[in-house]
Structure 1
Amino acid sequence: MKLRPTHEALKDCIEKAGVKKVAGALGISSSLVYKWCQPPDDEKGESSGAANPLDRMLTIYELSGDSEIIQYLCRRAGGFFTENPHAKTKAELRFVTETIEILNKFADLMHYAERSLRGDGVIDHGEAVNLRQDWDRLKSRLEHFITACEQGQFDIRKEKD
């Protein structure tokens, strides 16, 4: 899948808010904001000497290899980031096995919440953080499962041993 260049995505977003409003909120000049919305002039991806904020965020993500910064932005926007699944071989991917494992992970999550409540009658901040982390991992796994379904990776006729 070919992605739009960052300057185009940024330009569309900035146009909705207004260049002057963005520049004012960031404490920078309107001309710098306009430069961010221009195509790169050279192989470094810089437009008139100004790398745009999306390119900078992508560089941080690529250097760190940690998707937490992407997850943070998604949460701030009211959503959730789920990576596209990596294709599994047929030997690794069985419908019934995947379904049971996902259900077991969900049951584990609910048992953890129940134990937390049964212990002292409250789910404290630390327990809530653990629940969120486990829930996010489960949502990712479910997304991978549904994507595999959409891609036709499950064929129960071929899974009979």
Structure 2
Amino acid sequence: MESYEAFRRVVGGDAVTMAKRLGRSSSLVHKWCEPHADFTDSGTRNPLDQLEIVLETAQKLNRAPRDAFAPIFYLAESVGGLFLPPVPRTIETSDYSKQLCKAIKEAGEAFATSARALEDDNLSPNERRLILRDIYEAIAELSAFARLVEAGK
């Protein structure tokens, strides 16, 4: 799917309402929903294109996946979802062990955070947030391990 197609789907037929919520003009929101060969066609990159550039730049700067993809992790978590970062293109045998260790470490942290929070049998909103963050990180690492195994030879 292209970024403009994603915008077209989310905007539906109501660019005016979206524009008002975003504090932008409806013509700009309409532009974001149109195909373009070059961003200069519309005068601006749509927000998804901008985010893609940020992610690509972070990866080129060798940011850790959890940092490079932080905006996507945030968006996924904000809607109750889970983002699984991509598996490396080349897989070494040692990658399996490293990834399994990461998954076990994250799961252990999730269990420890949960146990500390549940000592008083009452979960505060902050404790819930911390537990969920650690659980989602553990799930992401375990899923990354599963995808390594699937992609392996």
Percent identical residues? 25
CA RMSD of aligned residues (A): 3.1
**Matched-pair contact (CA < 8 Å) for 1:113–1:131:** yes
2:49 maps to 1:55:
yes
Contact 2:15–2:29, Cα closer than 8 Å, also in 1: yes
Q: Which has the higher contact order (CA 8 A, sep 6+)?
A: 2
Q: Deviations over 1:82-128 (max 9, x none)?
A: 1022243124325xx93x8745653453244224433x454455544
Give the number of the structure whose alpha-carbon radius of gyration is greater: 1
Unmatched 5+ stretches in structure 2: none
Deviations 1:136-156 (A, max 9, x none): 2211111112212333x37xx
SS of 1:33's equivalent in the other structure is helix
Indicate which of 68, 73, 76 corresponds to 1:74: 76
TM-score (norm: length of structure 2): 0.69
Distance change (3 Å), C-alpha of 1:21 and 1:124: closer
1:22 matched residue in structure 2: 18
After superposition, the Cα gap between the structure-2 partners of 1:34 and 1:115, relative to the gap in structure 1 and judged at 3 Å, is closer
Cα 1:101/1:68, change in 2 over 3 Å = closer
1:135 corresponding residue in structure 2: 135
CA distance in 2, matches of 1:128, 1:84: 27
- Alignment correspondent of 2:8: 11
